[in-house]
Structure 1
């Protein structure tokens, strides 16, 4: 019996453990931190051996195969030891995809992948048997074991793509590439780019690659790296023969000379970036032969994703917006770009070497006050101090929201769009977003 060791006892780790056991492996789950009770209970119920608050090397280095949580970097000494012992390391999507013949739509990118994945799933589920997994929802491995859908939409991070060998989606979508997580890629942007493009490395000429033709990083990589899959692009500025483009305030989507037209004003979600997300999702739906009417209706009634430009409440004619999922500058760029009213901007957190230059035009045009919410706000204060009349620091969400309430006047927006990771003051971006919504509801 082959020994399968799983590092990380979260959603993907426990899901993989269940599938591994069902496929006849001897499974051991090891988590360096404290595992959540709900996951321990599942492992106990299925009689799978586990440990937390430690990694026992003698129980790990005798593995035949290791699945590591995407959150564990390669530079950790235990991972180095596993590699030195020539034990193969796989990601959950790699391991799980071996056990399904389902059609896979895999979506990656620096920003927009959660919205695009949720929107694609929302359209496809009207007509197909389909699961939503990867970085989102229930674990892919667990769904293969329990639901066995005929199709899956997978939101895939660069960290998950780093540990694939054979993973091959029928349709791959790349929303955009901007510098992010560079601490995991030796601070080399080209390493991060290569990681994103692994999504197409096993595709053949029978598969499809949907991407943003307005993204210079993607265009330049494709010019020097030929790929086998059929390319379909989307663009806000160019005419696209196969894929999606804009003509007279309509989105035109073409696949094999078959066209769909969709008025932009009917899209449920605002902002240029959401036009792109809609283009990517509907191109995939068109490829999978979803009816035009279904695609149109789905784009009109899609409600959006929690913590991503989520309208929380309107109080005294001020709209409070939760964009806690904006953990990098480019995500905040999209948020500020889509603001149609003077904005009180709550920003800050754990800075990943951010360059805020691309935000200057929007800060000058749209931002009336900045509230810095982080342990160390010096860089924000220095960068934006001269651009706005009011800039204030705090380390408490409740206080940040109260200050915003005092500053904002009728017709304004209050936007939480941090441009930073959340780990300095919060458990994760969801925790940060929930605290924001709670504070707003208490006003």
Structure 2
């Protein structure tokens, strides 16, 4: 389908929406109009794109019905819930528009936990291997902003959310990676099955020769889907495969796992070792071990060896992911605002063990019962709950005899942690929930935490 010949509308002008509209304006013929639907006033929208006679603006929600009457297809921003849309046949997702425009190799990464770190580190490693990489998607860079870089790029690496994938029908990455799957965004997807279905759009439309790297834990669900029942898949698992252990594994499948020494290895479908990819002693301590298994496997599937790259690179994690902020009076402060699910928070607390830990837990649950995961936090020195769901979280924690304090704001939480912590302790912001009760996004939440900690550090220095 040549969507450019149709009447197109863009709904929402966040990071993705701006990139979508800018790309469309660059390729639409002069006689075509682009409809925009947004809550911003028209004069603000005109300033974003500069005065243009190619734009038709509709104010949301007052003119929403007029907008849909004026278009054949809508390309929505990912954050817009389309469940109640009266004309779902008009949806044309951003990722499918990208798929029609991008003709170089594509690596696409999704999952519940670890996809941002994996995207960041894989892009860094590919660049170290001499590849020219364009990175974007759900990391704050609109994927359609990458199209202009295509001529000078070897790979696009995209982080994709379930929101970006749920209506996809065209995207077919050369390498699709699913990092893991935990209950998340159930306020939108309603069930874990619908959430998985959205993620699997990443591999449903792949062609022969294109590869998928998927957690072995998902194998029974994957093979139960007749669309994926017989295709070769590369699986990864932190535990070694025992012969005939998993009937979902087929003869053409590949397994990536750890051997008894902790090295990353490739095995065949029976568990027989084919190759060592990354020796245990060479696995970086930066990020979690499972992430390095995924990275080693992904590079191997791309015919790139990981070990030589690690000897000539300085690695870093993305901002807001277990990020050291400062040490004040012997207390170390860490920013893990990127944690929007409890599994990420639990993983972060384990990474900082065995030091005494004060955890700042907050945000909103996105349809998931976070109290079910609090038992994993019983070893905390103190749990400080802040924000909209603080009282519910604290009540459940107290029933588990976890020492708990309630704060209304992040500012109060940081102050409480500062006055409680002693030398040798760590204070960790790892909210385990979305930021929308108090902040625009997790970046703003993390930036505010860093600002508050730096303010404490400055106040300390002024006293001496």
TM-score normalised by length of structure 1: 0.88
Counterpart Cα distance in 1 of 2:448 and 2:133: 32
- 1:178, CA displacement in angstroms? 0.8
RMSD across aligned positions (CA): 2.6
The one of 57, 60, 68 aligned to 1:54: 60
The one of 267, 278, 283 aligned to 1:261: 278
* Number of the residue aligned with 2:298: 284
* Number of the residue aligned with 1:66: 74
- Size of the alignment, in residue pairs? 427
2:37–2:60 CA contact under 8 A, matched in 1: yes
1:206–1:230 CA contact under 8 A, matched in 2: no
Instruction: Tell me which structure has the larger Cα radius of gyration.
Output: 2
- 1:293, CA displacement in angstroms? 4.0
* Number of the residue aligned with 1:30: 37
Counterpart Cα distance in 1 of 2:105 and 2:43: 32
- 1:220, CA displacement in angstroms? 2.4
Counterpart Cα distance in 1 of 2:263 and 2:58: 50
- 1:50, CA displacement in angstroms? 5.5
Note the residue ranges of structure 1 that are not aligned, 5 or more in a row.
Answer: none
1:234–1:244 CA contact under 8 A, matched in 2: yes
- 1:42, CA displacement in angstroms? 4.3
Cα-to-partner distance string for 1:218-272 (whole Å, 9 max, x where unaligned):
12212312526531122211149834221244432438955422325641414xx
* Number of the residue aligned with 2:13: 9
Superposed, which structure 2 residues align to 1:35-434 within 5 Å? 41-44=47-50, 48-49=54-55, 51=57, 54-55=60-61, 56=63, 57-76=65-84, 79-80=85-86, 82-83=87-88, 86-87=89-90, 89-126=91-128, 127-148=130-151, 149-185=153-189, 187-213=190-216, 215=217, 218-226=218-226, 227=228, 229-239=231-241, 242-254=254-266, 257=274, 259-263=276-280, 266-270=283-287, 274-297=288-311, 301-340=314-353, 341-356=355-370, 359-365=373-379, 367-388=380-401, 390-434=403-447
SS at match of 1:125: helix
1:107–1:117 CA contact under 8 A, matched in 2: yes
1:105–1:171 CA contact under 8 A, matched in 2: yes
TM-score normalised by length of structure 2: 0.85
Counterpart Cα distance in 1 of 2:305 and 2:366: 43
- Which region of structure 1 is more displaced relative to structure 2, 322-331 or 145-154? 145-154
Counterpart Cα distance in 2 of 1:26 and 1:35: 16
1:111–1:175 CA contact under 8 A, matched in 2: yes
2:343–2:432 CA contact under 8 A, matched in 1: yes
2:321–2:338 CA contact under 8 A, matched in 1: yes
- Which region of structure 1 is more displaced relative to structure 2, 234-243 or 325-334? 234-243
- 1:403, CA displacement in angstroms? 0.9
SS at match of 1:431: helix
